[in-house]
A and B are shown apart, each in its own frame.
Chain A
Amino acid sequence: MKALGKRLDYLFRSTRGLTLVAISAVAIVTAIWGTLSGPMVEWGVRDITVNLLGMDLTQADREGRIIMLYHTIAMTIVAIEVYFMTEILPMKRHEQVIINMTTTVGYLTALIFGMGFAYFGHNFVFHGLFLLGQSLLFFAGILLSAALWPWKKEYRLEADSPYAHTKKGVDLERLAFFTMAVATLLSATFGAVTGSYWGNGHETFLGEDLIRVPHKTALQKAIIGHLHIMLTLVAVAITLIVGRWMKFQGILHRVAMPLMIVGTIIITFGALSVVWLPWAHTTIYFGSVFVMFSALLYVIYTWDKLIKDGTADIEKPTFGQKMGALLRDPLKFGPGWQMVFMNFTVSGVGIFMAVKLDEIFRVWPHREERITLTGHWHILAALIATIIIFYYMDLSKVEGKKRKWAGWTIIIMSDLAFASATIFSMKRLFVAESEQQSLVNTVMLLMDLGLGVILVVLAMFLIWRLYDLFKDKGYWNEEFSAEKKMNAEAEIAEQQKKIEELQATLKEVSK
């Protein structure tokens, strides 16, 4: 019993444990719900899942189910990012504890009851609990924003700090995190307010089904703005997190952080103003330039760092040696590479669509345009997921050959899958409908292979972590001890500071 308590303590009270639970939750949802579409349907696996679990898949409710599935996965991903943030950004211990606790209860409640409502009969008590879970996560976001308040004196940086800061020492990276958190709350509010009209003037829809409807309602536009900006902000958050991980600093950091702050504000305004401004898209493009340029500076910095660190003991490294150093550690090379790759499969496709909309995409049948749209945002979401996995594997001290195999397999197979998905979605550029099947068969196979292998790697990693939990002195114990030590030291420092403040107060009043 004590052993179980210790493990639960680790899983639900340490950042690493909480992250492990959340990644496992996403993996389980992906494994089960992934059987309801794509090749799994063709192989008859969907019917087995539905019968085994007693799912209720009413045809008219499919879009609603998918929306709830997206929300539960998104909540869990946001929770993971919150755990990362509360660990890497300086804040008071009690703030970290309360934010993580509220986040955990929030996303688990939303996930369990959201999926229960959507897939297992419409019990409206479950729907209420789904909303409660989301509300708790929103509340955690408010707490996080308060904890991140960048103008607090204790979080100001020294004048000679290599990190971006203002003349008064305000940490611009913290300000970028804060801006992202506040923008997320604002964007969530847009979704929540519109959601409150559900069944009362607002009907469930998938954004991609409405693209050719010339007159959309304000509620429909609000949802379209909401879904686009939420994914963008999740991407901004992970970019900032990996920047922290790679100790992004110096001149490029000083340029990148203001760009990220301004870009986040403009792009959020642009996405939400879709409701009332006809030129909202122009604002979004403008904001995207800032955000993407900031990410580019991160890539330049980290790749340069990897090369310099990897060739530090060589006086005049050759090009080959530099490349060797760059590619030595796939987990650290991966995030930057995936951001570069994103330009071909997400941003590039998006820009091409915008430029050639009337010339190409609106000439295609709606179903073809729809595939391109859904393809590019699914790819962005999956790229973000791979970056999270890289970071968490590094935190889990996956080293040596395992690190290289896992890292490179994820990079190669995910890029293979996403490149195939992009070709699939743009296939009408290269092949007529009547001649497409060879291409479709090939890219579908590569897509399934790529995603399948990534899921196998993730499953192996999680099974290792699960196996480790059965060990008394497993890695989990080491992680937990290190975190407890770090927390204890931080808390002692906090307490000492508090004691000093209280003593100063006593001294002042006793005068």
Chain B
Amino acid sequence: MKRSLLIMTLFIFLLAACGPAPSVSAIKPPFIETGISSETWASVPAGDFPYGQHDHVTFVEDFDIMVTDVTVEQYAQFLNDALASGDISISEFEVEAGEVVWHEEGVGGYYEGDPFDGYKHEEEIKPGDKLFMPMVDGLRLTYDGSLFTALDSYTNHPMTLVTWWGADAYCEYYDYRLPLEAEWEKAARGTEMVDDHGLPFPWGVEIHGNNANFYSSFDLFERMFGRLGNTTPVGFYNGQTYGVGEESYETHDSASPYGLYDMAGNVWQWMGDDYHDQHYRYMRGGSFYSYEVDLRVWKNNSAGPQHYSPSLGFRCARD
């Protein structure tokens, strides 16, 4: 019996000792040109659409929305512009989440605060200087003391590690805004009904690994860097076949009915809604960390506005 237990324990430890997987910050992917411009906008006309998992008919006014997520290069440009205009600063910021307060070095600026209802579990978001982007490992841009520059291999990847304030500040700076959940979902799924349901994915009713970047989708970067993978350049899933070294990877054209890319997978996207009785901000779309079920267009995620992550980005909308 003792011998059996010993063998079993050894077996378990051997398995547990499998080689370490690289962290996201350690990955240096090759630059891949997708041919999709991050400067493009799409127009979504006013009208009804099936909203949410249960397809509630909902009206949304017309609006424009970015075809891709904001890229690292675009965000670097914003930081440089806003630094020059004095709208943001590099400093140590106090971050408050729940009952915990800590300080983080990064880029930040003023935020006017949120209405506070004092509801159970609601945290007050007071006016003041807020952290937009922490200076941490994994950041895809460098700062040489005067200028932010996107890392070569990441220029056309979605900007990540931005708080909700950082995303909101980018959009506000250019007179845009973050999309609302209903707007985002309409842009993602359109108005088409198949078998009495709205589309569950931007491109249709089924999902394959070649449609989007999600956990274990066996995309190009998962092949190169392990199962975790990495973000893909914006607009990657456009029907092109990419060749990197000996690797060749075919994608399906997975644009939404309005021509938007990456509305499922790659990175979660911050939404602009501020709901009563709660301080959470919502995210949509799922990410390269998500299982495919979280890529369904009605699924959301939430966190306080101070949250940032390597799997979280944003895009802007405008009226």
Residues of A within 8 A of B (CB): 41-42, 58-60, 62-63, 203-204, 212, 214-215, 357-360, 362-367, 404-405, 408-409, 412, 416, 433-435, 437-438, 440-442, 445-446, 449
Contact = CB atoms under 8 A, between A and B. Distances in A.
Closest 9 A/B residue pairs (Cβ) = A59-B200, A437-B21, A434-B24, A437-B228, A438-B20, A365-B303, A214-B277, A42-B216, A363-B97
Interface in B1-51: 1, 4-5, 8, 12, 15-16, 18, 20-25
A83 B276 CA distance: 50
30 contacts: A41-B291, A41-B292, A58-B197, A59-B197, A59-B200, A62-B293, A62-B296, A212-B302, A214-B120, A214-B121, A214-B275, A214-B276, A357-B121, A360-B98, A364-B303, A365-B302, A365-B303, A366-B302, A367-B301, A404-B1, A412-B8, A416-B12, A433-B24, A433-B289, A433-B309, A434-B138, A435-B23, A437-B226, A438-B20, A446-B12
B138 A366 contact: no
A359 B24 contact: no
Interface of B: 1, 4-5, 8, 12, 15-16, 18, 20-25, 53-55, 97-100, 119-123, 137-138, 195, 197, 200-201, 205, 216, 226-228, 275-278, 280, 283, 289-294, 296, 300-304, 307, 309-311
Contact of B309 (A360, A365, A442): A365
Contacts of B99: 358-359
Given A214-B275, A358-B98, A437-B21, 19 more contacts: A42-B216, A59-B200, A60-B55, A212-B302, A214-B122, A214-B278, A363-B100, A364-B303, A365-B283, A365-B309, A366-B280, A366-B302, A408-B1, A408-B4, A412-B8, A434-B23, A435-B24, A440-B228, A442-B16
Contacts of A367: 290, 294, 301
Contacts of A412: 5, 8
Contact of B16 (A204, A404, A445): A445
A362 B18 contact: no
The dominant DSSP class at the B interface is loop
Contacts of A441: 18, 21, 227
A434 B21 contact: no
Nearest to B290: A367
Contacts of A62: 293, 296
B121 A358 contact: yes
A449 B18 CA distance: 14
Contacts of B1: 404, 408
B301 A366 contact: yes
Contacts of B97: 363
A358 B216 CA distance: 32
Contacts of B216: 41-42
Contacts of B120: 214
Nearest to A57: B206
Contact of B4 (A365, A405, A437): A405
Contacts of B303: 363-366
A231 to B, nearest CB: 23
B116 to A, nearest CB: 13
A76 B190 CA distance: 42
A204 B53 CA distance: 9
